[in-house]
Chains A and B, each alone.
Chain A
Amino acid sequence: EVQLVQSGAEVKKPGESLRISCKGSGYTFTTYWISWVRQMPGKGLEWMGRIDPTTSITYYSPSFQGHVTISADKSISTAYLQWSSLKASDTARYYCARLENSCSGGSCYTYWGLGTLVTVSS
């Protein structure tokens, strides 16, 4: 069974750094890109960027370029999203996901983690 297991909720202060994680299991981690998606409180879904776990090549949405860093460690099947200096406006739930349709048995699937809630408050 494909699973993306995300790290637990975080409460941080403005200016602090943070790295959250997403561990893939049930499939070959290096086969599929991992995307990160933000959902601010009461708002919609925003695609932040993705990483190829094999090469660590990344693509960022222009809205998030320079504000976050996406990385991966293929040896432990884990992707990361990190901030060097958090702001209150980073308060959101962050999902990792395999968004490229994966098809088998006559249907296609995408896979999502349950999300990591990040709260930034002084």
Chain B
Amino acid sequence: DIQMTQSPSSLSASVGDRVTITCQASQDIINYLNWYQEKPGKAPKLLIYDASNLQAGVPSRFSGSGSGTDFTFTISSLQPEDIATYYCQQYDSLPYTFGQGTKLEIK
């Protein structure tokens, strides 16, 4: 199985801050990586697909980068509505695997 190591597990930041989350795969997954946002009581929402492509309708302050084994998710200017838990997920090979999640809080 491909292990996805996501960090940090939690993060406290101020409105307007730049926030970065990393995800490392245990083997090369090319760019087969999605980033999800999960809010309480709601299904996970796809934000970034193929590592760096912004899904339609998602604010441009969200971005993703990376390839191979190392990936980064960035919020350029944190907004109050961005409070959520974020997950990376690889779909290079089965079984699909998720990172452990990053819980983002407002300072």
- Identify the A interface with B (CB < 8 A): 35, 44-47, 49-50, 59-63, 95, 97, 99-101, 105-110, 112-115
Contacts and interface: CB of A to CB of B under 8 A. Distances in A.
Contact of B95 (A47, A95, A107, A110): A47
Contacts, number: 62
A105 B101 contact: no
Interface of B: 1, 34, 36, 38, 42-44, 46, 49-50, 53, 55-56, 85, 87, 89, 91, 94-101
The 10 closest A-B pairs by CB, nearest first: A107-B56, A112-B43, A61-B95, A47-B96, A44-B101, A45-B98, A108-B49, A110-B46, A101-B49, A44-B100
A50 B91 CA distance: 13
A108 B98 contact: no
Given A45-B98, A62-B1, A100 B91 contact: yes
Contact of B97 (A47, A49, A59, A109): A47
B49 to A, nearest CB: 5
B91 A99 contact: yes
A95 B43 contact: yes
